[in-house]
Structure 1
């Protein structure tokens, strides 16, 4: 179904994982898609595979966000879909956390996402859709996740306030909070194959549906939020974690 024909979509961190899957789904539904990422080679490969356009842009650098906004304004004028997806993981106990680690996660996951929205608000068509990638950990209390969880909880707060502020323009703002999802993000964080297997087993044991999520499922939800089917939904966080966050 070409629900998004004629729409222009921007996806940050679209060169891999959930961003890549979302780009594929949005394009399949008719949208013209533009992706960003921090690594030039990865962006180029992904853009070629997907048949979309791409550009290197580091969400953790405000100057790069300004440059991206200027580029998109020059190329497209305005856009219809903004999926703020780029993010990193990072974890340590509160006692062992460092300022450097704190700043690295917050600069990308929260500050960068916040100012991506801020800089792109003037470039959104009235009636546009904004989707944040959050995490089920935003409402959970796992040890060694204080910085990452805080970055996502803050993002959800911004999402709700943005939904109120942008409602007069019929711009809808929502967030998706996946649980354990099969992507490359944990490998990028430095986990070995053996550690990843152990981590996957640990997570699956805590998911009532006894499986990991798929990036494609998140991509389909991004497309749903971006379509007229969700025209009366704004300020919503949808948790898709196989029941992991349930108190059972």
Structure 2
């Protein structure tokens, strides 16, 4: 297993949990040199890639009329451009028959105030999954998308809105799903494991929504 992230502390913690043999690389998906260095390291230490999970992303919440160029560019670069070139630069290192899993969001299916750029970038990720499914079919590479709903992660403390507003948003989310709770990161992980495995060998270009019923019910 190889992982990449910007925060060395969380990288080291994750590598420790993964155990011996895991490769951790500090880098930024918006920087091509970092991606090149990542894949060179993976190729040297682990060989060809069977599964690629494109998970990097971020959110800065802002009303539409307050979105400036810096906010637009930072989210577009991280959520879409980063995903696009993470995959493109991985192609020479992917085995035929590999599985690519992109992480989008239910924000690309529903309209959430303050998430105009975020929702658009995640819609672009979903569209990319469909296109790549067609383009990479001759290599037997499957491309699928997971669109999570609200999940208990630290991102809610970093999206640029007051704590009281975050609490209100959480309450609204909890009222709508059938399960009346936030999801857990492990519940997204189990879906990723399924898409990475041969159990999903006939699933291509699909979006699996993991949201406790928000979108469809």
TM-score range, shorter chain: over 0.9
* Unmatched 5+ stretches in structure 2: none
Whether 1:59 aligns to 2:34 is: no
Query: Aligned in 2, Cα 1:110/1:184: closer, same or farther, shift over 3 Å?
Result: same
Whether 1:80 aligns to 2:50 is: yes
Whether 1:208 aligns to 2:201 is: no
Give TM-score, length-normalised by structure 2. 0.93
Post-superposition offset of 1:135: 0.3
Provide the C-alpha distance between the structure 2 equivalents of 1:231 and 1:45, rounded to a whole number of angstroms: 32
* Unmatched 5+ stretches in structure 1: 1-32
Whether 1:141 aligns to 2:138 is: no
Provide the C-alpha distance between the structure 2 equivalents of 1:245 and 1:40, rounded to a whole number of angstroms: 35
Whether 1:93 aligns to 2:74 is: no
Post-superposition offset of 1:37: 0.8
Query: Aligned in 2, Cα 1:95/1:191: closer, same or farther, shift over 3 Å?
Result: closer
CA contact (8 A) 2:5 2:27 kept: yes
Provide the C-alpha distance between the structure 2 equivalents of 1:193 and 1:209, rounded to a whole number of angstroms: 24
- Partner residue in 2 for 1:105: 75
Post-superposition offset of 1:57: 1.4
Give TM-score, length-normalised by structure 1. 0.82
Post-superposition offset of 1:190: 5.1
- Partner residue in 1 for 2:9: 41
CA contact (8 A) 2:2 2:42 kept: no
Query: For residues 1-248 of structure 1, what are the structure 2 equivalents within 5 Å?
Result: 33-51=1-19, 52-189=22-159, 194-246=164-216
- What is the root-mean-square deviation in Å for CA atoms of aligned residues? 1.6
Range 233-242 or range 204-213, more displaced: 204-213
